[in-house]
Structure 1
Amino acid sequence: MSKILVIAEHLDGKLNSATARAVSAAAAVKPEAIDVLVLADNVDAVAASAAQIEGVSRVLTIARAENAHPLAAVLAPQIAKAAAGYSHVFAPSTTFGKDVAPRVAALLGVAQVSDVMSVEGSHTFKRPIYAGNAIITVEADAAHAVVATIRTASWPAAAASANSAPIEALSLDVALPSHTRFVELKQGKSDRPDLQSASKVVSGGRGVGSKENFEIIYKFADKIGAAVGASRAAVDAGYVPNEMQVGQTGKIIAPELYMAIGISGAIQHLTGIKDAGTIVAINKDGEAPIFEVADFGLVGDLFKLIPELEQAIG
């Protein structure tokens, strides 16, 4: 029978919702047990949140001062050691998961399965290739542990349940590398919803025209309570920081509502939004590729249409 170890992603003592999505993927394997592994310097708050996720059998914790910051070089040897006896190790396909999972796979001597979007069997999965233009079925060797990253946009977050899974502390004898050290974390601070987990996202593209003009995107997003994203063209032009980039080389998202404003719709961008519920496009070019995937489209000047939309919303 399968036993799955899900690696918890967290920051500042808060569990990332991507972890619950990875648990959903784990549940699809129909395993005997799903355990969540929390690595931190202070594990209590994160472990308590993980214990409430429906379907979780146990929460395992490794509390070490070296785990204060999520350095892949430091976490991977501990995860590989903790993975003994597990048939699968899952991590969300986020910046965190893409950083740590390949190292875990290398330490375990297996090939990683990336961006799992559906489970066809205990060792058979579907994942996107060619910027999402094709879906491939991959089969992992059943004789070895499966290390996989989970495409979070393809999975719903497992619900938080009333029951709490037991929390157990692990004590592992593992040597940690000293050549990698944490220096600092620079990230944008915002009161807006998190881009990767928001139910509504408003994104701006090259058509917005400038960093100053992007204020119209922020204002509209705040009006409807949405997170703000951007196309790669807008990021490359310096309108917004790169953590706002949506697409194949940015964030893969699945909001209920996605509004693409001044975005032409390059295939790399469409890859990042293909799982969105409703797509609304605003662009002055009626032939823009974005209209091929949009549920609703407005052709016209965004600087005239956005204020009109704001007035209509009231």
Structure 2
Amino acid sequence: MTILVIAEHDNGSLKAATLNTVTAALKLGSDVEVLIAGANCGGAAEAAARLAGVTKVKVADAAPYAEQGAENVAALLVDVIKASGYSHVLAPATTFGKNILPRVAALLDVAQISEITAIESADTFVRPIYAGNALATVKSSDSIKVITVRTTAFDAATEGGSASVEAIAAGAELSQSKVIGRELTKSARPELGAAKIIVSGGRGMGSGDNYRAVLEPLADKLGAAMGASRAAVDAGYVPNDYQVGQTGKIVAPQLYLAVGISGAIQHLAGMKDSKVIVAINKDPEAPIFQVADYGLVADLFETVPQLVAAL
């Protein structure tokens, strides 16, 4: 039984989500291979080869994969899967994985098993449903299991391996779509999905100016990433890439500070696995207090500056 992990990378290095996905794959079996599809992606391939437990890294280094477009990568994957006879195909449940793997499942005519959080056996998995309020145990009878992995549920794989690296032939350029441009957000803060500390603000911040004036000093003191509830994003306080929740990023930091966030189900689904949750809200009935390890019923505009001054 051989398992294939689809690596998310930037050609030079692996994204953190790939490391968690490798750990999930190792729970299925000891024969784990990684596929790197990109252009000038030798750095990512070398990083994958160093991961403990990985037995082989397959590399498709060609122009059609420079932007890792879903159509080209999915077609390549189907060819590789059929040629090698993998029993399981895994990708992180990130925007990358959610873009590519459903296409692969459809082309293989199998069901996708989405956002697993635990593995009970080779064909039985646990995944959240109803915005994380219930866990479903699902059993698949498909010959090939196509799976996305909720990365916060698995530890990151460590280095210590020395897998072989094999170049594979590229598929055809399908030319169904092309990237016109990218607008990348650059920040000196930690990346939200991988941060150990996150400071998040909600509708209670009142405005984008308040969000920045109140929360940025706290995040600077803690070396934290900044997040937000969907309500804050919809109100235009912060960009969409700050959003934590069911339709945003799923996070599980060591410390999560929820400031002015009521705790709607949509938001809780994205952060309730955090190790320690601290909530500041002036409403004592706010649902966020039901999941918080520490809660403070107070005016955030008074409390957060006092906290910053004390740090």
The within-5 A match list for 1:81-92 is 81-84=79-82, 85-92=85-92
Name the amino acid aligned to 1:92: P
Name the amino acid aligned to 2:7: A
* Residue 4 (structure 1) aligned with residue 3 (structure 2): yes
Which one of the candidate residues 171, 190, 194 is aligned to 2:187? 190
Name the amino acid aligned to 1:6: V
CA distance in 2 between counterparts of 1:93 and 1:279 reads 23
Give the structure 2 partner of residue 213 of structure 1: 210
Q: 2:193 aligns to what SS in structure 1?
A: coil
CA distance in 1 between counterparts of 2:255 and 2:2 reads 36
Structure 2 unaligned spans of 5+: none
Name the amino acid aligned to 2:141: D
Q: 1:203 aligns to what SS in structure 2?
A: strand
Structure 1 unaligned spans of 5+: none
Q: CA deviation at 1:164?
A: 2.0
Name the amino acid aligned to 2:203: R
Which one of the candidate residues 43, 47, 62 is aligned to 1:49? 47
Instruction: Give the TM-score normalised by the residue count of structure 2.
Output: 0.97
Give the structure 2 partner of residue 106 of structure 1: 106
Q: CA deviation at 1:154?
A: 0.7
* Residue 180 (structure 1) aligned with residue 177 (structure 2): yes
User: What is the number of equivalent residue pairs in this alignment?
Assistant: 308
Q: Tell me if structure 1 keeps the 8 A contact 2:11–2:38.
A: no
Q: Tell me if structure 1 keeps the 8 A contact 2:11–2:43.
A: no
Name the amino acid aligned to 1:35: E
Give the structure 1 partner of residue 289 of structure 2: 291
Which one of the candidate residues 36, 39, 42 is aligned to 2:34? 36
Distance 1:87 1:12, change over 3 A: closer
Q: 1:83 aligns to what SS in structure 2?
A: helix
The within-5 A match list for 1:1-314 is 2-11=1-10, 13-29=12-28, 31-84=29-82, 85-142=85-142, 144-161=143-160, 163-172=161-170, 174-215=171-212, 216-313=214-311
Q: CA deviation at 1:176?
A: 3.3
Name the amino acid aligned to 1:219: P
CA distance in 1 between counterparts of 2:197 and 2:64 reads 36
Q: Percent identity?
A: 52
When structure 1 is superposed on structure 2, of 278-287 and 175-184 the one drifting more is 175-184
Q: CA deviation at 1:32?
A: 4.2
CA distance in 1 between counterparts of 2:181 and 2:31 reads 37
CA distance in 1 between counterparts of 2:12 and 2:183 reads 17
Q: Tell me if structure 1 keeps the 8 A contact 2:9–2:44.
A: yes
CA distance in 2 between counterparts of 1:190 and 1:70 reads 23
Instruction: Give the TM-score normalised by the residue count of structure 1.
Output: 0.96
CA distance in 2 between counterparts of 1:72 and 1:248 reads 22
Q: 2:217 aligns to what SS in structure 1?
A: helix
Name the amino acid aligned to 1:9: E
Q: 2:53 aligns to what SS in structure 1?
A: coil
CA distance in 2 between counterparts of 1:277 and 1:221 reads 18
Q: CA deviation at 1:307?
A: 1.1
RMSD: 1.1
Name the amino acid aligned to 2:89: V
Name the amino acid aligned to 2:282: K
Q: Tell me if structure 2 keeps the 8 A contact 1:37–1:60.
A: yes
CA distance in 2 between counterparts of 1:156 and 1:167 reads 24
CA distance in 2 between counterparts of 1:124 and 1:167 reads 31
Q: 1:77 aligns to what SS in structure 2?
A: helix
Name the amino acid aligned to 2:100: V
Q: Tell me if structure 2 keeps the 8 A contact 1:77–1:176.
A: no
Q: Tell me if structure 1 keeps the 8 A contact 2:282–2:299.
A: yes
